[in-house]
C-alpha cells in the first residue's frame, strides 16, 4: 500500500521542514521527486539526501511568486516526463493582529501563499489534463478552519488555500485531477525555532512549552507525521478522496 513507484512528484518548499519530509517520504515510496525551493542550496541538500538513500530526486530553484520562474520550471518538468503529483507546500508566515500588519506584510504573504499556489497549480493542471489526470495537494493550516491569535495575514492566506482547494477539486473532478489540502496545527520546524530565537531570546524553552500546550495532545506535530498524511492523500489508496481539508492538529478542533 501507499507505493508511488513510477510516479513523478513535485514538492514546492522542499528544502526544509514539512516539504523536505514529504519529498523524502515520497522518494522512499518510489516516486521521482523534483524538489523546488527559492533557496536552491536547501533544495540541493534535500535532493542529495534522497539520492544517498537510493531514491531519485532533482533540485530546482524556483520562486513560486514569480510567474516567469514558475512557467520556466514547469515547462522543464513537462519536457522530462509527466507530473503526477504536485504538493504546494511553499509558504511564509507572519505574526500579528490586523493592527500589527502592514499593507506590505499582507502583499508579501499573498504573493507566496496565494499567488504562488495559483501559479504552480495552474501550471500543473495544464500538464495533468493532457496526460489524463493527477493529484494536487495543498498545505493549508488549522488557521483556515478556526481563529488563531495574532495570525491575521497568515490566516487570510490559508483560508484562500482552503477555498482554492475546493474550487480546483470541483472544477476537475470529472477530468481526472484530485485536489485536497492538509491543515496542520503547530509543527516543530526550523521556522518555529527561528521564531522563538528571534522573539524570545533566552526564553525559548518556556515559549516552546506554550506552543506545545496549544495542542491538547500536549506537543507539536512533526514534519514526518504531516508527510505520512500527504503520502496517503497522494497515493492511489486515496483515489476516492477529493475536495477535502484534513486537520492534523493534536486535538485542537475537539478541545
What is the tens place of the pLDDT at every residue in 32-46? 999 999 999 999 999
- The CA–CA distances, whole Å, from 95 to 4, 87, 149, 215, 253 equal 37, 24, 9, 18, 21
pLDDT at res. 164? 98
Quote the cell numbers at residue 101.
500588519
The CB density around residue 132, as the number of other CB atoms within 10 Å, is: 10
Hey, what's the cell of 237? 489508496
Q: What is the mean pLDDT of the chain?
A: 96
Q: What is the mean pLDDT of residues 197-207?
A: 88
Q: What share of the chain is helix, strand, coil (3-state, %, to 5)?
A: 50, 15, 30
**Domain residue spans in the chain?**
8-185+223-247, 190-220
- Phi, psi angles (nearest 5°) of residue 27: -65, -40
Given a contact cutoff of 8 angstroms between Cβ atoms, the answer to whether 225 and 236 are in contact is no
Q: How far apart are CA 246 and CA 15, in angstroms?
A: 23
**What's the pLDDT score for residue 192?**
87
Give me the half-sphere count of Cα atoms (radius 13 Å) on the Cβ side of residue 218: 0
Confidence at residue 199, expressed as pLDDT on a 0 to 100 scale: 76
CA distance 177 to 65: 23
What CATH topology corresponds to 8-185+223-247?
Rossmann fold (3.40.50)
* Region of poorest pLDDT, from 111-115, 168-172, 204-208: 204-208
**pLDDT exceeds 90 at position 190:** no
Supply the residues annotated as catalytic. Answer: 154
C-alpha cell of residue 3: 507505493
Across the range 164-187, mean pLDDT stands at 98
Residues 23/33, Cβ–Cβ less than 8 Å: yes
Report how far residue 241's alpha carbon sits from residue 227's, in angstroms, rounded to the nearest whole number.
Answer: 17
Compute the average pLDDT of residues 82-91: 98
Whether the per-residue pLDDT at 140 is higher than 80: the answer is yes
Task: Kindly give, in sequence order, each residue whose CB lies less than 8 Å from that of residue 178, ignoring residues fewer than 6 positions away.
Answer: 133, 134, 135, 136, 169, 238, 239, 241, 242
255 versus 1: the higher-pLDDT residue is: 1
Rounded Cα–Cα distance for residues 76 and 33 (Å)? 14
Amino acid at each position: 500500500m501507499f507505493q508511488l513507484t513510477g510516479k513523478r512528484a513535485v514538492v514546492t518548499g522542499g528544502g526544509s521542514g514539512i516539504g523536505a519530509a514529504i519529498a523524502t517520504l515520497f522518494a522512499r515510496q518510489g516516486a521521482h521527486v523534483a524538489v523546488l525551493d527559492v533557496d536552491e542550496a536547501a533544495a540541493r541538500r534535500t535532493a542529495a539526501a534522497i539520492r544517498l538513500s537510493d531514491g531519485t530526486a532533482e533540485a530546482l530553484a524556483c520562486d513560486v511568486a514569480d510567474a516567469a520562474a514558475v512557467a520556466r520550471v514547469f515547462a522543464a518538468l513537462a519536457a522530462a516526463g509527466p507530473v503526477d503529483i504536485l504538493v504546494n507546500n511553499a509558504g511564509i508566515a507572519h505574526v500579528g493582529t490586523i493592527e500589527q500588519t502592514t499593507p506590505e506584510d499582507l502583499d508579501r504573504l499573498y504573493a507566496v501563499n496565494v499567488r504562488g499556489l495559483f501559479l504552480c497549480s495552474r501550471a500543473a493542471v495544464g500538464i495533468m489534463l493532457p496526460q489524463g489526470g493527477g493529484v494536487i495537494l495543498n498545505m493549508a493550516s488549522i488557521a483556515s478552519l478556526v481563529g488563531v491569535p495574532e495570525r491575521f495575514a497568515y490566516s487570510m492566506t490559508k483560508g484562500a488555500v482552503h477555498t482554492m482547494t475546493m474550487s480546483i477539486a470541483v472544477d476537475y473532478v470529472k477530468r481526472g485531477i484530485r485536489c485536497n489540502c492538509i491543515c496542520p496545527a503547530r509543527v516543530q520546524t526550523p521556522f518555529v525555532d527561528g521564531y522563538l530565537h528571534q522573539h524570545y531570546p533566552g526564553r525559548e524553552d518556556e515559549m516552546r512549552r506554550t506552543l506545545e500546550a496549544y495542542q491538547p495532545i500536549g506537543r507539536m506535530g512533526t514534519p514526518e507525521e504531516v508527510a505520512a498524511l500527504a503520502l496517503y492523500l497522494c497515493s492511489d489508496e486515496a483515489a476516492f478522496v477529493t475536495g477535502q481539508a484534513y486537520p492534523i492538529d493534536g486535538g485542537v478542533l475537539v478541545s
